[in-house]
Amino acid sequence: MSLEDLTSTAPSWMSGEDDADGIVISCRARLARNLAKHPFAPRITESDQQKVIAEVLAAAKDSRRMTTASYFSMNALDANERRVLVERHLISPSLADDKGERGILFNQDESLSVMINEEDHLRLQAIYPGTQAQQTWAAIAALDEEITGAIDCAHDEDLGFLTACPTNTGTGLRASILVHLPALVLKEDMERVLQGLNQLSFTVRGVYGEGSNTSGNLFQVSNQATLGSSEEKIVEGLLRITTQLVEYEKDAQQSLLREARSQVEDKVWRAYGLLSHARVLSSQEFMNLLSAVRLGLTIGLLKVPAVFINHLMIATQPAHMQAEAGGALDPDERDLRRAQLVRQKLTEVADGQ
């Protein structure tokens, strides 16, 4: 598998399966692990990093789940290629931008991946579509059994898995969902929801992980604590909060439709119109319009498939477009190209109906 092939395919988590009518886009589980005999990131040397990579790849080689996996060393990729991987949720911005020997191992449909030498020696990740939290957990638990079982892992009887940052100690599990909550935002109910989630020990972040702002009414909700609960309990907790959020959003949508149906329909169709015909689209405007289209899909106004919307969201990201264009694009060129790509794809989907 080469990186070029990557940009023309959609990862399996984008399929739109089990997405609660477009509200829950995907579910992710991440496990942080370290090798016992090598220092953590703040003290690790390049020579140690190479040893870590060798040991992890050796353990992964025998893993049944990683047979179709490819390894990419970050230093062997250029900046745009690394950015493509960030846009696909395969690596974090840290892994892309840090120095040192580090890389990513991921399988063909991008459902399973292992970051090597990011904040911890290993970061296992599973991403599945929609509300499939149990499947996500099952996949990553199996991967964990195979890989972590084959290395000398830093683990303590009392404290669990030892991680560089104490915020990950214990299970090392961060389970999250990516949700679309346009009605809650429109009804200005998000602060109440955010406060409620915080009280239940869930954190809420923007689309691309730590530190980013929310965009297109997309929120990533994840567990806060990693120590003191079993992994299954954490996943169950996430499932419960997912059901609740879906309920709140659907209620908010129904309420909006009762109060202002024509305005909502107008907003959806205007967004569809703009996306179909605009000549210039900034990424911020695009995300806002796409959110309205997603809402249109959820309330049954539009028949655009969820997988199409999801793939469009990634295909219009800067690094993806630059990869397709075969070179760097300045912001104006990107905005032009984005509009062009969206018009083209929407025509294809419309024709197909």
Partner 1 sequence: MQCESCKEREATIEFTTVAGDEKKTSHLCPACAAAFSQQQAVDEVDMAEPAVKPTPVKKKKANVVVGHLSKSEAKATACPECGMTYDEFRKVGRLGCSACYKAFAKPLKRLLKRIHGADQHVGRVPGQAATATVEEMGNTQVSAVETLRAELVQAVEDEEYERAAQLRDEIARMQPEEVSDV
Q: Cβ distance 294 to 19 under 8 Å? A: no
Q: Which residues contact 131 (CB under 8 A, 6 or more apart)?
A: 18, 19, 20, 24, 27, 177, 239, 242, 246
Q: Which of 57, 204, 278, 336 binds partner 1 (CB under 8 A)?
A: 204
283 touching partner 1, by CB under 8 A? no
Q: Which of residues 9-68 bind partner 1 (CB under 8 A)?
A: 9-10, 12, 15-16, 33-34, 36, 38-43, 64-65, 67-68
Q: Cβ distance 110 to 13 under 8 Å? A: yes
30-66: b or e for each residue (b if 16 or more CB lie within 10 Å)?
Answer: bbbbbbeebebbeebeeebbebbbebbbebbeebebb
Residue 41's H or E segment, with its range, is: none
Residue 214 beta carbon to partner 1: minimum distance, rounded to whole angstroms: 5
Q: Which is nearer to partner 1, 156 or 259 (CB)?
A: 156
Q: Which of 3, 57, 227, 301 binds partner 1 (CB under 8 A)?
A: 227
258 touching partner 1, by CB under 8 A? no
Give the span between the Cα atoms of 248 and 215, in whole angstroms.
20
And the tokens for 301?
């106004």
**Tokens 């060129």 correspond to what residue?**
333
Q: Which of 56, 256, 315, 329 binds partner 1 (CB under 8 A)?
A: 315
Give the span between the Cα atoms of 244 and 240, in whole angstroms.
6
> What string marks each residue from 90 to 129 as x (binds partner 1 by CB under 8 A) or -?
-----------------xxx-x-------x--------x-
Residue 271 beta carbon to partner 1: minimum distance, rounded to whole angstroms: 19
Q: Which is nearer to partner 1, 34 or 291 (CB)?
A: 34
Could you tell me which stretch among 190-198, 257-265, 289-297, 324-332 binds partner 1 (CB under 8 A)? 190-198
231 touching partner 1, by CB under 8 A? yes
> What is the total count of residues that contact partner 1 (CB under 8 A)?
89
Give the span between the Cα atoms of 205 and 183, in whole angstroms.
18
Residue 212 beta carbon to partner 1: minimum distance, rounded to whole angstroms: 8
Residue 33 beta carbon to partner 1: minimum distance, rounded to whole angstroms: 8
Q: Cβ distance 171 to 160 under 8 Å? A: yes
343 touching partner 1, by CB under 8 A? no
Q: Which of residues 141-170 bind partner 1 (CB under 8 A)?
A: 141-142, 144-145, 148-151, 153-162, 164-167, 169-170
Q: Which is nearer to partner 1, 161 or 286 (CB)?
A: 161
Percent helix, percent strand, percent coil in the chain, to nearest 5 = 50, 15, 30
Q: Which is nearer to partner 1, 62 or 266 (CB)?
A: 62
Q: How many residues does the chain have?
A: 353
345 touching partner 1, by CB under 8 A? yes
Q: Cβ distance 127 to 26 under 8 Å? A: yes
